[in-house]
Structure 1
Amino acid sequence: MGAGAVLAHSVARGGGYQELRRMAPLQRWGTSREVAEVVTFLLSDAASFVTGAAIPADGGATCASGQAVPLVVDCGTR
């Protein structure tokens, strides 16, 4: 699981928050609760078939940066 920018109280009080927020694809930073919800899902039975995946919880930052690439997995043959 890859967490993106998460809002901390010290950042929210600082003057640069609004500028950084505008650079984020969703126009806001994530919260620790939102990241925890992704982790909770991955640890649950609902994700029992999810294996070998990198799940970005970054509000779209990975896609907006051009870092998102199609996943190609070669697991060999049996």
Structure 2
Amino acid sequence: MYDVLFTYLIIIYIRKLQLDINMKTSSIKPIVFENIDKLIENTYFNLRGKIVNTMKIESQIKKNEVNIRLTYLLMRHYIFY
């Protein structure tokens, strides 16, 4: 989650730089904006993908823990009863 916050801070900073560049010169604006927008978009989707993958892994770990507990209870039941 901190990665997302950090990314938004970077995006805000880059947007501020874009505004500064836009005020100072207009000749380099299109190239800079396209490259920065692509960079922001790629960074966002990479972080989003990592977060989704992390959530999937956490979900799988929880399922495995539940399966282990159920197996333990079943084994205990059959051994002691």
Same fold (TM over 0.5): no
Q: Which has the larger radius of gyration?
A: 2
* Larger strand proportion of the pair: 1
* Larger helix proportion of the pair: 2
